[in-house]
Amino acid sequence: MTTEEPTAPPADVDRPAVATRDGSVRLPSWMSGQDAAEPLTRGERARLVWARHRGKLLVGFVILLLLALVGGTAVLGHLTVERIRAGTQPSASPLSSASPLR
């Protein structure tokens, strides 16, 4: 088993401009925040909010939908019970009570 000493890369190898030893480090624009100088559009803001709060918004929407469904069922059930107690039957069609065709 031989141990080789690390050798310097050949002089003709092009190193990335970001990783030079003698120069300053240059960050890409997406890391430096230069893009943040432009204001976001309404669609971009909505997309970011949805991405950040997607689970909470979805759970809240489902709960709101279930509450509306339960509330609507309760109101319609109450109205139906009140009609039955009052003795009036809800008609299936407007022609069923007085049909002139008989």
What are the tens digits of pLDDT across the range 21-59?
666 667 776 676 666 667 878 998 888 888 888 888 889
Report which of residues 83 and 27 the model is more confident about. Answer: 83
Task: Compute the chain's Rg from CA coordinates.
Answer: 36
Assess contact for 29 and 35: CB atoms under 8 A.
yes
**pLDDT confidence of residue 95:** 59
Q: What is the pTM of this model?
A: 0.40
Average predicted confidence (pLDDT) for the chain:
75
Q: Is the CB of residue 89 less than 8 Å from the CB of residue 81?
A: no
Residue with tokens 């890409």: 28
| Average pLDDT value for residue range 85-96 | 66
Tokens of 4: 């080789």
Using DSSP's 3-state secondary structure scheme, residue 12 falls into coil
Q: Which amino acid is at 56?
A: K
Query: CA dist 28 to 14, 18, 31, Å?
Result: 19, 9, 6
Mean pLDDT of 66-88: 91
pLDDT at 66: 97
